[in-house]
Chains A and B, each alone.
Chain A
Amino acid sequence: MASGQQWVLVEMVQAFYEAPAYHLILEGFLILWIVRLLFSKTYKLQERSDLTEKEKEELIEDWQPEPLVPLVSKDHPPPKYDVVSGPTSHEIIVNGKECINFASFNFLGLLDNERVKNQALTSLRKYGVGTCGPRGFYGTFDVHLELEERLAKFMRTEEAIIYSYGFATIASAIPAYSKRGDIVFVDEAACFSIQKGLQASRSNIKYFKHNDMDDLERLLKELETEDQENPRKARVTRRFIVVEGLYINTGDICPLPELVQLKYKYKVRILLEESLSFGVLGEHGRGVTEHFGVNIDDIDLISANMENSLASIGGFCCGRSFVIDHQRLSGQGYCFSASLPPMLAAAAIEALNIMEEDIDIFRLLRDKCKHIHSALQGISGLEVVGESISPAFHLQLEKSTGSRELDVKLLRGIIDYCMNRQIALTQAHYLDKEERFLPPPSIRVVVTIEQTEEELEKAASLIKEAAQHILQHTVLGH
């Protein structure tokens, strides 16, 4: 072995002698070049600008940041919130005036329910208020496990997961699945928490026209052609459709059966936000899937909050374990946030009990919706926007004055008129600059089962009166 190596060395030395001079010079040059490359910086660092320390100090001295928040001019004072003293139940005191509540999403009237309150109290007496930890670190209580089981059973899915904040539910669920490079098809009317979830996911977002399945199919077809051009990328690009069961911004129901057809045709998963439709639509209040008789397993993920029908706090996602379980490690709002106070979970469980015991309440709610819906038709100047069975719908101006500010003022006039006469209404509020597609200004009308026929009639006639009074007045005024 050793002698063999020696032999190689001897050969090398021999070759060196025999090589022509130009060859050696060239090799030597090459070696020098490599050394130069190794030890020299061929690029300049960012600090190419040869600023002296003094110049830097001057720059720092000169720099003036914008104020942290823009200065508010005197003629645009910050808006005043309406102040509610006491609970936001059926009878409500707004700005010191007693009213009938037509503004909070307490559809089933469970907020004021004695049974719910008592359960919450019992739980408070056992667990205290806060949980003092996230779910992973001793923030999981037996009540949470029970609520998750009950929700899964109620929705007839394999598993449910609860969040401590309704807004954070879908906003955390979307980025748990959809990542950079994935494609999400979203309805233009999607609510703000969906928009935030999409933004956090950094996925490629494609908006389709509100409830327009042709437009969605057009986008899906476009994607299909792109996929054929680049099949390798297509194999790893997840795709989702995100829709709401009952749109909070428009009061419309999504065409779920068509969506499911498109899902299988184009192999796209459906994420469904049901904050308004859960506990409202369907014979048992299971939401839009029950409303259309769609198999719930065809929907990959359903998310809803427990702040409307259930009149508690928080939100939940449900679906198959294969999908839902992933959020226990990847749902940011689940992992990194303190868990839901047990008393709020206990209240939600009792609310679920009531929903299961009496399915009549869902029919009753629908009847009331239809009632006020028809009573509000034909008001001159105001247009009813939303399905007739939607308990939260909008009243928009038939003709905009051309300025959003003025429109808002007019609607506020109508609301004040009603509020002075014992009907509490509110405008649908948005962050004008943050919304992707800003809905037109509107009055939000919310129906609950606690409202009596007379109250519904009264509200409708008052709104009619107010519209006449205020809209005509301004028309004359201009």
Chain B
Amino acid sequence: MLIRMTESSVKKLSNGDRCYRASNGVKPGKNGCVKNHYLYQKQHCYPEEKIYHVAHNGGLYKRPFNEVFEETPMLVAVLTYMGYGILTLFGYLRDFLRDWKIEKCQNATEREEQKDFVPLYQDFENFYTRNLYMRIRDSWNRPICSVPGAKFDVMDRVSYDYNWTFKYTGKVVKDVINMGSYNYLGFAENHGLCADAAADVTMKYGVGVSSTRREMGNLAKHEELEKLVARFLGVEAAMAFGMGFATNSMNIPALVGKGCLILSDELNHASLVLGARLSGATIRVFKHNNMQSLEKLLRDAIVHGQPRTHRPWKKILILVEGIYSMEGSIIRLPEVIALKKKYKAFLYLDEAHSIGALGPSGKGVVEYFGLDPKDVDIMMGTFTKSFGAAGGYIGGKKELIDYLFTHSHSAVYATSMSPPVVEQIITSMKCIMGEDGTTFGRDRIQQLAENTRYFRRKLQEMGFIIYGNIDSPVVPLMLYMPAKIGAFGREMLKRNIGVVVVGFPATPIIESRARFCLSAAHTKEMLDTALRMISEVGDLLQLKYSRHLLVPLLDRPFETTYEENEE
């Protein structure tokens, strides 16, 4: 099997047109990536790695970049579309029955007094929710009643009206293996150093602040946190905010505005998209992690200037994420930085999922690639995931942070961070940095990296289609068909494993998937149990689609770039 795979991949590579054209930032294509491929394979002979296409670009990448997106099998794609077709047909049928009062309408309805108002919702907006989402709604929002650690307790609930309402039975499903929470380094704990420190602060400070940073809510603790974050990231200064989402949506508008251009990855998180829109800048979208697409947009932008007036752009800001939470891919940061330098653009890097989770000492994607944090203009990240807390930060040059202190919407208008949350971040970050005098932090980072490689390899071997980078702790497993979304979620919970399943609109319509988030808190036994169950359900639902026909990222059918203009 493996031998065949290698052959086919080599054949494809020697064709020359289907390999990663990892551009060195100066000229795409042409660099003999076939040669590089061989070179790399000679040096490292991990048998399992032969099945990957390797984008290895001497000068830029200090480590192999193994990222893979297997093509959707044609039959599966056709069946998936058929599935949606059938669901839509039945949706129309049932809407028809509801209109004629044959089927009971379970929707909450408008007040009698307001029936003659303009309807609050357009009917087709809710078609999807009513007829598709409602069928499998039980796979989301499952309430839990314990620490979201390696295992958690899920509250049992039943629905007697096909998911329109839920009743809690009062029972608790104990010790479900948690493959869903973003608890990368396992700092979601109710005991231990961090929790103890947070408990002390709770008793001393209370939980609230009731004022903004700019007015009376600037605690010495906040400043301590910011100094620590700056030191952790290796930047001059940093600023912390109460909510990760708002860190993006409220600070991008402070940095760019009308006459500026934002180049945004097509799979960027909603908060980045919202921030970009609120800024009033022109937004152009490049294909996911596709450097040719980005370079073309950069060139065109500088050569042609602003639309109509052709005035040169004031600034160009590239928005990317470290790890993409739905694809499991890692940003091609060395290339992005090379491009950014060549075209004098600014780089905004959102490390929501990568901070703590990547790099030998958990400093994120910059450290993972062995790059200099100074090359990233705006380092953004959240405390929600690896640090087991809440909030977000921005790090960068001192001028940038000084500017944000005066111009950030969050500092002036939003209540500052809760002191116990701040304490949790300080303690967990010190632990990661080894400043608590232990090696717990390092061990966790190491454990996460091992778990990631192990889990990904096993799934791959079982024959599932897995997306993303070999080192990414976010592991999407492709389900494709809408009916399998709900089935997978339910079957896994039956086997005491909590997983996240996602479908449209969070993913392209045919690429529904399950997503596992690995944690340093997972033991090998837990992972083995999870893997066994996944394999079992995979057989049951026939999810082992993989034919190992690996296609490079560039060939993935994504919509073309488009531009969005804020009027």
Binding site for B on A (CB under 8 A): 46, 49, 51, 56, 59-60, 63-66, 68-72, 78-79, 81-89, 92, 94, 101, 103-106, 110-113, 116-117, 120-121, 124-133, 135-142, 144-145, 164-168, 177, 191-193, 196, 199-200, 202, 234-239, 264, 267-269, 297, 305, 307-308, 310-313, 320-323, 325-326, 328-329, 332-333, 335-338, 340-341, 343-344, 347, 424, 426-431, 434, 444
The answer to whether A430 and B412 touch across the interface, beta carbons within 8 angstroms, is yes
Cβ < 8 Å to A, chain B residues 109-124: 109-111, 113-114, 116-122
Chain B, residues 462-496, CB within 8 Å of chain A (1/0): the string is: 00000000000000000000000000000000000
The answer to whether B207 and A120 touch across the interface, beta carbons within 8 angstroms, is yes
The answer to whether A313 and B420 touch across the interface, beta carbons within 8 angstroms, is no
The answer to whether A329 and B129 touch across the interface, beta carbons within 8 angstroms, is yes
The answer to whether A132 and B181 touch across the interface, beta carbons within 8 angstroms, is yes
Q: A128-B188, A128-B195 are in contact. Are A138 and B142 (CB under 8 A)?
A: yes
Cα–Cα distance between A144 and B142 once the two chains are bound (Å): 12
Q: A124-B199, A336-B270 are in contact. Are A312 and B207 (CB under 8 A)?
A: yes
- A308 contact set on B, CB distance < 8 A: 210
Q: Please give 6 more A-B residue pairs, beta carbons under 8 A apart, in addition to A69-B399, A347-B206.
A: A124-B190, A196-B278, A236-B122, A238-B120, A328-B141, A343-B420
Cα–Cα distance between A469 and B133 once the two chains are bound (Å): 66
Partner of B211, one of A103, A135, A239, A343: A103
Partner of B389, one of A113, A129, A191, A429: A129
Task: Looking at the assembled complex, report how far the CB atom of B133 sits from the nearest CB atom of chain A, in whole angstroms.
Answer: 8
Assess whether B438 is interfacial by the CB under 8 Å rule. Answer: no
The answer to whether B302 and A307 touch across the interface, beta carbons within 8 angstroms, is no
Assess whether B303 is interfacial by the CB under 8 Å rule. Answer: yes
The answer to whether B346 and A104 touch across the interface, beta carbons within 8 angstroms, is no
- B407 contact set on A, CB distance < 8 A: 431
Partner of A105, one of B211, B245, B385: B211
The answer to whether A89 and B206 touch across the interface, beta carbons within 8 angstroms, is yes
Binds A, one of B84-92, B310-318, B361-369: B310-318
* 26 cross-chain CB contacts under 8 A: A60-B342, A69-B403, A84-B217, A84-B219, A84-B220, A101-B216, A105-B210, A111-B209, A117-B206, A124-B198, A129-B195, A129-B420, A130-B390, A133-B181, A135-B141, A136-B140, A139-B181, A142-B144, A168-B245, A199-B278, A269-B114, A269-B117, A322-B110, A329-B133, A338-B244, A343-B202
Interface residues on B, range: 35 or more
The answer to whether B384 and A338 touch across the interface, beta carbons within 8 angstroms, is yes
The answer to whether A60 and B206 touch across the interface, beta carbons within 8 angstroms, is no
The answer to whether A341 and B498 touch across the interface, beta carbons within 8 angstroms, is no
Q: A116-B207, A128-B195 are in contact. Are A313 and B415 (CB under 8 A)?
A: yes
Q: A87-B419, A137-B140, A164-B390 are in contact. Are A325 and B108 (CB under 8 A)?
A: yes
- B110 contact set on A, CB distance < 8 A: 322
The answer to whether A127 and B147 touch across the interface, beta carbons within 8 angstroms, is yes
The answer to whether B207 and A313 touch across the interface, beta carbons within 8 angstroms, is yes
Chain B, residues 247-288, CB within 8 Å of chain A (1/0): the string is: 000100001000000000000011100100110000000000
- A121 contact set on B, CB distance < 8 A: 199, 202-203
The answer to whether A131 and B390 touch across the interface, beta carbons within 8 angstroms, is yes
The answer to whether A138 and B181 touch across the interface, beta carbons within 8 angstroms, is yes
Partner of A72, one of B346, B382, B399: B399
Assess whether B388 is interfacial by the CB under 8 Å rule. Answer: yes
Binding site for A on B (CB under 8 A): 108-111, 113-114, 116-122, 129, 133, 140-149, 152, 155, 178, 180-183, 187-191, 194-195, 198-199, 202-220, 223, 242-246, 250, 255, 269-271, 274, 277-278, 299-300, 302-304, 312-316, 342-346, 377-378, 382-385, 387-390, 399-400, 402-403, 405-407, 409-410, 412-415, 417-421, 424, 498, 500, 567
The answer to whether A311 and B210 touch across the interface, beta carbons within 8 angstroms, is yes
CB closest residue in chain B, given A236: B118
The answer to whether B144 and A141 touch across the interface, beta carbons within 8 angstroms, is yes
CB closest residue in chain B, given A60: B302
Cα–Cα distance between A141 and B342 once the two chains are bound (Å): 48
The answer to whether A332 and B198 touch across the interface, beta carbons within 8 angstroms, is no
- B389 contact set on A, CB distance < 8 A: 129-130, 341
- B118 contact set on A, CB distance < 8 A: 234-239, 267
Q: A87-B419, A329-B129, A338-B382 are in contact. Are A65 and B314 (CB under 8 A)?
A: yes
The answer to whether B243 and A264 touch across the interface, beta carbons within 8 angstroms, is no
CB closest residue in chain B, given A335: B270
Partner of A200, one of B204, B219, B277: B277
CB closest residue in chain A, given B201: A87
- A325 contact set on B, CB distance < 8 A: 108
CB closest residue in chain B, given A137: B500
Task: Looking at the assembled complex, report how far the CB atom of B89 sits from the nearest CB atom of chain A, in whole angstroms.
Answer: 23
Cα–Cα distance between A13 and B402 once the two chains are bound (Å): 84
Cα–Cα distance between A128 and B155 once the two chains are bound (Å): 18
- B220 contact set on A, CB distance < 8 A: 83-86
Task: Looking at the assembled complex, report how far the CB atom of B178 sits from the nearest CB atom of chain A, in whole angstroms.
Answer: 7
- B191 contact set on A, CB distance < 8 A: 125
Q: A63-B344, A88-B216 are in contact. Are A333 and B246 (CB under 8 A)?
A: yes
The answer to whether A426 and B245 touch across the interface, beta carbons within 8 angstroms, is no
The answer to whether A336 and B399 touch across the interface, beta carbons within 8 angstroms, is no
- A49 contact set on B, CB distance < 8 A: 304
CB closest residue in chain B, given A79: B406
Cα–Cα distance between A313 and B207 once the two chains are bound (Å): 8
Partner of B245, one of A82, A145, A337: A337
